[in-house]
Structure 1
Amino acid sequence: MIIAQIATPTGTTPSPAIHQLVEIITHNVVEIDGDAQTVTSPEMFVRKDRNQFTWRTIHLLAVEGDIDTEDQSPYGYPLLPGSVDGVDAGSAAVPAVGMTSISLSLRENLDSAYVDINALTGHEDAYLPLWEATREILRAEGRTKVTAYADHPFGDELRAPSSDLSLAQTRFSRFLLEAGFELTQTETCSRLALPVDEENLERLSADAAAHAGDYRTVSWVGPTPAEYRSDLVALVSAFHLDMPSAGIVEAEINYDVERLVTADQRTADIGITAIVTAAQHSSGQLVGYTRLNIEEGLPAVFQDDTLVLRDHRGHRLGMLMKTENLRRLAEIAPGRPFIQTWNAGENDMMWSINERLGFRPHSGVGQWQIEIA
Structure 2
Amino acid sequence: MEITRLSPDDEVGCAEAVAVDSAGWKLDRPEMLQHTPKSFANMLRYGWDMVPPQAYLAREEGIPVGLLTIEVPRYDNTNQTWLDVKVHPDHRGRGIGSELLAYGENMTRELGRDVVGFGGLDLPKAEAFAARHGFEQKAIEVNRRQDLAGLDWDIVQRLYDEAVAASTAYELVTLTGALPDDMLEGMVAVTESINDAPKDDLDIEDDVFTPERLRAYEEAQEKSDRTLYRVIARAKETGELAGHTVVAVEQERPHIGEQHDTAVSRDHRGHRLGALLKSAMLLRLREAEPALTQIDTWNAESNNHMIGINEQLNYKIVSRFLIYQKSV
Give the TM-score, by structure 1 length. Answer: 0.81
Query: Compared with structure 1, are the counterparts of its residues 227 and 346 closer, same or farther at alpha carbon in structure 2 (3 Å cutoff)?
Result: same
1:215 matched to 2:170 = yes
User: Is the contact made by 2:44 and 2:55 (CA closer than 8 Å) also made in structure 1?
Assistant: no
Aligned to 2:3: 4
Structure 2 residue corresponding to 1:146, chosen from 76, 96, 116: 116
Aligned length: 322
CA distance in 1, matches of 2:42, 2:141: 28
Letter paired with 1:229: L
Q: Which segment drifts farther, 48-57 or 127-136?
A: 48-57
Query: Compared with structure 1, are the counterparts of its residues 172 and 63 closer, same or farther at alpha carbon in structure 2 (3 Å cutoff)?
Result: farther
Aligned to 2:320: 364
Alignment of 1:9-88 (within 5 A): 9=8, 11=9, 14-35=10-31, 38-52=33-47, 54-65=50-61
Query: Compared with structure 1, are the counterparts of its residues 329 and 32 closer, same or farther at alpha carbon in structure 2 (3 Å cutoff)?
Result: farther
Alignment of 1:179-328 (within 5 A): 179-195=133-149, 196-239=151-194, 241-282=195-236, 283-298=238-253, 299-328=255-284
1:142 aligns to what SS in structure 2? Answer: coil
CA distance in 1, matches of 2:277, 2:160: 9
Aligned to 2:75: 107
User: How far off its partner does 1:287 sit?
Assistant: 0.8
CA distance in 2, matches of 1:274, 1:48: 16
Query: Compared with structure 1, are the counterparts of its residues 234 and 251 closer, same or farther at alpha carbon in structure 2 (3 Å cutoff)?
Result: same
User: Is the contact made by 2:46 and 2:52 (CA closer than 8 Å) also made in structure 1?
Assistant: no
Give unpaired runs (5+ residues) of structure 2: none
CA distance in 1, matches of 2:38, 2:30: 23
Q: Which segment drifts farther, 292-301 or 338-347?
A: 292-301
Aligned to 1:128: 98
User: How far off its partner does 1:284 sit?
Assistant: 0.8
What is the percentage of aligned positions where both structures have the same residue?
25
CA RMSD of aligned residues (A): 1.8
Q: Where in structure 1 do 4 or more consecutive aligned residues deviate above 4 Å?
A: none
The structure whose Rg is larger is: 1
Could you give the per-residue CA deviations for residues 301-326 of structure 1, whole angstroms, max 9, x where no partner exists?
11121111122111111000001111
User: How far off its partner does 1:117 sit?
Assistant: 0.6
Aligned to 1:119: 87
Give unpaired runs (5+ residues) of structure 1: 66-93, 153-167
Could you give the per-residue CA deviations for residues 227-275 of structure 1, whole angstroms, max 9, x where no partner exists?
2211111111221x22322244322333222232233123212211111
Aligned to 1:91: none
